[in-house]
Structure 1
Amino acid sequence: MQAVDILDKLIGFPSVVGMPNADIVAWVRDYLQSHGIAAAVLPGPEGDRANLFATIGPKEVPGYILSGHMDVVPAAESGWTSDPFRLRADGGRLYGRGTSDMKGFLAAVLAAVPGLAEMRLRCPIHLAFSYDEEAGCRGVPHMITRLSELCENPLGAIIGEPSGLRAIRAHKGKAAARLTVRGQSGHSSRPDQGLNAIHAISDVLTRAVVEADQLTRGPFEDVFEPPYSSLQIGTVKGGQAVNVIPDTCEVEFEARAISGVDATNLLDPLRRTAEKLTERGFAVKWDELSAYPALSLPADAPLAALLEELTGIAPLPAVSYGTEAGLFQRAGIDAIICGPGDIGRAHKPDEYILVAELLACQAMIEALGARCSA
């Protein structure tokens, strides 16, 4: 199958984040099996979602991981001019949810499989396809913990997020959390008989604004825009009517951290402030929504040199968005981002990838195979 045909199949699976993904996993497994490649299906703790891992070449020596996620964000937004889960070709563009982010990369990898399978690879190429990346990289950690039983310690991991096929060495880490505060409802004319959850949570909101302002003063890492860690209040929900004491308020926070800073720690002052509300009779619940570390690959790393050789383009120092790459690096595996498409087309109506981008990525993967055969 050609890369476009494979992408057509992949887009047809509405593998929305947080939903079961057995259909797309089974299709990829069967496709690999048809080319003599055995794939391990690795169910996650949710029970209805799974990662997939496969090796092309010898398993007893270190090799390279090609990593991508099978899930996509929902496509319920208005503005689509065609079915988002049916690939539409228009000139050199291929439209559909996930074409750039990031089923295009998966299609290019799978299109390269027949050629890789015929090569005499001296070091293996591993395929690591994950689930629920769009929910904060929730699926891939379960696969990473099992790598020692699946393969020798890899030489590096290439994460195929859309980058215009230019390698990227760094991104910020991220943590997100939801705070729910519960008080006591009542008529607004008798505030003395209730516990106003919105009033209470304002202490935490104020602390978030203060912490966000302090982060702008450093530490700094100039490769990022902005060059400092950040924190924001993303959503606030609470209240029923202006004359009802709100008994519940829910807030979501997000922190993004430069290298060497733990994004989860940036949220700790907010959590501690929230916990003090229990002393005033409020119930407090703090839920971690997602967390992944920053990526920081040195400019002189062999993996960076390899990607420059494969693409003919010097790696970009950093980007603002996050990926699974930091999780591989935390596990002791050098990681870098490089994939087809453009992140600017992702998460919006009429997402697309160029046929030329798809084929260029397949060529890069085949060049990696040739490098592993030399």
Structure 2
Amino acid sequence: MTVEDILANLVGFQSVVGTPNGEIVEWIHTYCKAHGAETSVHIGPEGDRANLFVTIGPRDGHGYILSGHMDVVPANEPEWNSDPFTMRREGERLYGRGTSDMKGFIACALAALPRLSSMGLKHPIHLALSYDEEAGARGVPHLIAELPKLCEQPRGAIIGEPSGMQAVRAHKGKAAARIEVIGCPGHSSRPDLGRNAIHAMAEIVTGAVAYDLALAETPGDADFEPSYSTLQIGTIAGGQAVNIIPDRCHAEIELRAVPGLSPTELLEPVKACALALRERGFDVDWQEMSTYPGLSLAKESDLAALLADLTGKEVRAAVSYGTEAGLFQAAGIDAVICGPGEIDRAHRPNEYVEIAELADCQRMIEELARRLAA
């Protein structure tokens, strides 16, 4: 099968984040087994979705991981020009949900697999395919925890997020939380007899905005845009009617931290402000939605040099979006981002990848294999 054929199959699976992914896992598992690869399915604690680990070559060698997530964001936007889960070719572009983010990379690895299997690799190439990356990298930590049982210590991991096939060595970390404030309802004419949850949430939001402005004044990293850690309130909702004291209000908040700083720890002042409302009679629930660390691969690392050589492009210092790469690095595995497509095409209608980008990616993977076979 060509990379285009494989990508069409992958796009056809509606593996939307937070939903069961058994069909796409089974298809990839069957394909890899048919081409002689060793595969294992790892069901997550949710019970209805799984990670997949594939090894091409000797299991006991020190090779490389090619990492990708099988889930995609929803595709409910009315601006789509065609069915987002039926891949469409137009000129040199392939349209469909996940073509850039990031089923294109997975398709390249699968298209290369038959050739890799015939090369006689002396060191392995592994595919680490995860679920629910789009919900804050919820699936891959379970797979990373299993790696010592699945392979020898890898030399590095290539995370195939869309980067225009230019390797990237750093990204910010992220922590996101949902805050719910519960007060006491009543008639709006007697606010003294109730507890207004929206007013209480406003205190949290005001403090969070001030904290975000303070973060902008702290030392940062000039490789990033912006160079400092950032915070935002992404959603907020509450109340029933204008003449009812609102007894509930909830908000979602995220913090993106430059490498070297813990996003969870940076979010602690906002959490403390929220929980302090309990002393005034409010119930407050703080629920961590997701968290992952930043990535910071040394400029002079062997992995950065390898990717520059494989792609023929200078390694980019940093991107602002997050990936699973920081989790691999936190587990002691050097990681770098490099994949077909562009991030500004992702999470929007008419997502696409260019055929030439897929060809470049497949060549990169095959060249990596040639070096592992030498």
Q: State the TM bucket, normalised to the shorter chain.
A: over 0.9
Q: What's the Cα RMSD here? A: 0.7
Equivalent residue, structure 2, for 1:345 = 345
Equivalent residue, structure 2, for 1:287 = 287
Aligned-residue offset at 1:59: 1.0
**152-161 or 225-234, larger mean C-alpha shift:** 225-234
Aligned-residue offset at 1:241: 1.2
What secondary structure sits across from 1:186 in the alignment?
coil
User: What whole-Å deviation, never above 9, does each CA across 1:190-212 have from its counterpart, x for those lacking one?
Assistant: 11221110111222112101210
Equivalent residue, structure 2, for 1:194 = 194
Is the CA contact 1:158–1:336 (under 8 Å) kept in the aligned structure 2? yes
Equivalent residue, structure 1, for 2:362 = 362
Aligned-residue offset at 1:38: 2.3
**Mapping of 1:61-210 within 5 angstroms?**
61-210=61-210
The one-letter amino acid of 2:327's match is L
Corresponding position: 1:30 with 2:30: yes
**328-337 or 212-221, larger mean C-alpha shift:** 212-221
Within 2, Cα distance between the matches of 1:17 and 1:370? 35
Within 2, Cα distance between the matches of 1:200 and 1:261? 29
Equivalent residue, structure 2, for 1:39 = 39
What secondary structure sits across from 2:83 in the alignment?
coil
User: What whole-Å deviation, never above 9, does each CA across 1:236-281 have from its counterpart, x for those lacking one?
Assistant: 1111111110000001111000111101111111111111111111
Is the CA contact 1:231–1:266 (under 8 Å) kept in the aligned structure 2? no
**Mapping of 1:194-233 within 5 angstroms?**
194-233=194-233
User: What whole-Å deviation, never above 9, does each CA across 1:86-133 have from its counterpart, x for those lacking one?
Assistant: 000111110000000000000000000000000111110000000000
The one-letter amino acid of 1:87's match is M
Structure 1: tracts of 5 or more residues without a match: none
The one-letter amino acid of 2:38's match is A
Equivalent residue, structure 1, for 2:336 = 336
The one-letter amino acid of 1:158's match is I
Equivalent residue, structure 1, for 2:264 = 264
Task: Extract structure 1 runs of 4+ deviating beyond 2 A.
Answer: none
Aligned-residue offset at 1:221: 0.6
What secondary structure sits across from 2:137 in the alignment?
coil
TM-score normalised to the size of structure 2?
0.99
TM-score normalised to the size of structure 1?
0.99
The one-letter amino acid of 1:120's match is G
What secondary structure sits across from 1:126 in the alignment?
strand
The one-letter amino acid of 1:199's match is H
The one-letter amino acid of 2:176's match is A
**Mapping of 1:290-305 within 5 angstroms?**
290-305=290-305
User: What whole-Å deviation, never above 9, does each CA across 1:332-366 have from its counterpart, x for those lacking one?
Assistant: 00000000011111011100011111111111100
What secondary structure sits across from 1:28 in the alignment?
helix
Within 2, Cα distance between the matches of 1:78 and 1:174? 30
Equivalent residue, structure 2, for 1:239 = 239
User: What whole-Å deviation, never above 9, does each CA across 1:130-156 have from its counterpart, x for those lacking one?
Assistant: 000000111000000010000001100
User: What whole-Å deviation, never above 9, does each CA across 1:51-89 have from its counterpart, x for those lacking one?
Assistant: 000111111121100000000000001200000000001
Structure 2: tracts of 5 or more residues without a match: none
Equivalent residue, structure 1, for 2:50 = 50
- Aligned pairs, number: 374
Is the CA contact 1:167–1:314 (under 8 Å) kept in the aligned structure 2? yes
